[in-house]
Amino acid sequence: MAKKNKDDYSIADALRVPSGPVRVEDFDPDSAPDYPGEGKADAPAQMADLAPELSDLQERLYAAGRDNPRSRRLLLLLQGLDTSGKGGVIRHAVGMVDPQGIDLTAFKVPTAEERSHHYLWRIRRALPGPGMIGIFDRSHYEDVLVVRVDELAPLDEIPKRFDEINRFEAELADQGVTLIKCFLNVSRDEQKDRLLERLENPEKHWKYNPGDVDVRKKWSAYMDAYSDVLTHCNTEHAPWFVIPADKKWYRNWAVARLMVEHLRAMDLQWPEADFDVDTEIARVQTS
């Protein structure tokens, strides 16, 4: 395959969930849409190709945020079942970005304090500041996923929460937050292989939790819950992207590329000097 020009395709178009009812099963976890290289072998080179532009764009975003509390920000939201690779994406794709521009939050089982508030309370507190790239490892979607599957709230709450989440995300868009919502779509077979890999390698035992198998047994309930999320919370201002996640190298590249495309679309300019440049040059030279 000939190497594509970096500007003649949009991974966002390729991975965006179409509007209307969808099912997770409609998406192929093992595909690699719009990948510009050959495959796994050249994935490090493809990632390296994205790095300078991602770095430049992130620095422009950061610079713009320094003196402007109303400036743009990016929020990458990662959802997916165990072993789908939320951690891998953070390590390999987010890891390409200057740590000073990253604001990472991993949402765990809510604490007692968090449970005493509305479920969006802890989310609002973790929103990225001006110029920052926020990363959500899990998110408010847990409140319509695990909460629904394990019936941690009355089930008739779920459709209300979909509406509430859509309003919340519209509000974020209004405030200058560009949201990239990624569902990392791993297949049931691949999940099994990855769990076994963790068990067979003593250096990976710490990543394994017996509870992962209990969750795995609820696979079809999770597919139903994710299908409803992808159907009901897939809006114009905050669309979902389904990232094929059986190929780790594609998954990482696709998320990095999504960040590049969304940052490009912001048309970020370097801030202008709020001082007289020649005066300052003279001051430094005589100092």
Strands 240-244 and 102-106 turn out to be: unpaired
Rg (CA), the chain: 20
Which spans of this chain sit near its own copies (rule: CB under 8 A)?
63, 66-67, 87, 90-91, 94-95, 97-100, 102, 104, 106, 135, 137, 192, 195-196, 199-200, 202-203, 205-208, 210, 213, 216-217, 270-273, 275, 277, 280-281, 283-285, 287
The full 3-state SS of the chain, as one line of letters, equals CCCCCCCCCCHHHHHECCCCCCCHHHCCCCCCCCCCCCCHHHHHHHHHHHHHHHHHHHHHHHHHHHCCCCCCEEEEEEEECCCCCHHHHHHHCHHHCCHHHEEEEECCCCCHHHHCCCCCHHHHHCCCCCCCEEEEECCHHHHHCHHHHCCCCCCCHHHHHHHHHHHHHHHHHHCCEEEEEEEEECCHHHHHHHHHHHHHCHHHHHHCCCHHHHHHCCHHHHHHHHHHHHHHCCCCCCCEEEEECCCHHHHHHHHHHHHHHHHHHCCCCCCCCCCCHHHHHHHHHCC
Least separation in angstroms between CB 284 and its own copies: 5
Minimum CB separation of residue 52 from its own copies in Å reads 13
The answer to whether residues 47 and 253 touch, using CB atoms and an 8 Å cutoff, is yes
Least distance in angstroms from the C-beta of 272 to its own copies: 7
208 vs 241, which CB is nearer to its own copies? 208
Q: Which is nearer to its own copies, 33 or 95 (CB)?
A: 95
Our CB check for its own copies shows the closer of 97 and 260 to be 97
Residue with Cβ nearer its own copies (151 or 278): 278
Q: Nearest approach, Cβ of 229 to its own copies (angstroms)? A: 24
Minimum Å gap between C-beta 166 and its own copies is: 29
Minimal distance in Å, beta carbon 41 to its own copies?
Answer: 19
Q: Which is nearer to its own copies, 7 or 272 (CB)?
A: 272
* Residues 274, 127, 101: CA angle, nearest 5 degrees: 50
Nearer to its own copies, 60 or 161 (CB): 60
Of 36 and 101, nearer to its own copies (C-beta) is 101
Residue 20 beta carbon to its own copies: minimum distance, rounded to whole angstroms: 33
Which residue in the block uniquely carries the two structure tokens 């905050």? 238
Residue 203 CB, nearest approach to its own copies (Å): 5
Q: With respect to its own copies, which residue has the nearer C-beta, 8 or 200?
A: 200
